[in-house]
Structure 1
Amino acid sequence: MGWKKFILGIGVGLAGAYVVQNSMSNTLISPEKALKIAKDAFKENGSINGSWINMSPKSIKKDHINYRVYEGGISRNEDGQSTQYTFIVDAQTGTILEVV
């Protein structure tokens, strides 16, 4: 096997790895899936009256780490009163990062 073919093989392998890594790291879950994740988590503690989510992800910095996130909200009745919660879901992993 010649050096040219060996170097070409390494180059093609590195280029392929770069493309795969970039395509996987930039993949975002849908806003609908992010809302479902949040609703499922809230449903563990009771019923939900309403929910919403911003359809466009935004960039935030939390604990010195940059995230692409979806913001949304949930409303439910607690002790006869309507209570509103807002949440932030990581747009890449679906992890709920914050609930207020």
Structure 2
Amino acid sequence: EGTVWESEEVGLLSFSLDGEPILGPVPGLENLLVGCAFHSGGFAYNPVAGLLLAELAAGKTPGINIASFAPARYGQAETAAYLAQTLAQKDAIQRRH
């Protein structure tokens, strides 16, 4: 009683260039798998992302087609240009998964 809420913070929100998650093997880096850029939906996506990455790590084909989320969909030039940007969260992709 009488306590004032001053602020709140959350973890870092990550966004990809096209607004879709990044999930799968990283080209040119053998045995490196990533699952990131889920915006603020990480808690919802982490269980299935972990399962799909575990299937890949075990040498299996994932239970669903994840090709559209592959890191390989980006070229080096796109990645370099994206990383050179600074973007405020309010200006980032507004769509959430």
**TM-score w.r.t. structure 2 length?**
0.22
Q: Which has the larger radius of gyration?
A: 1
**Which has the larger share of strand?**
1
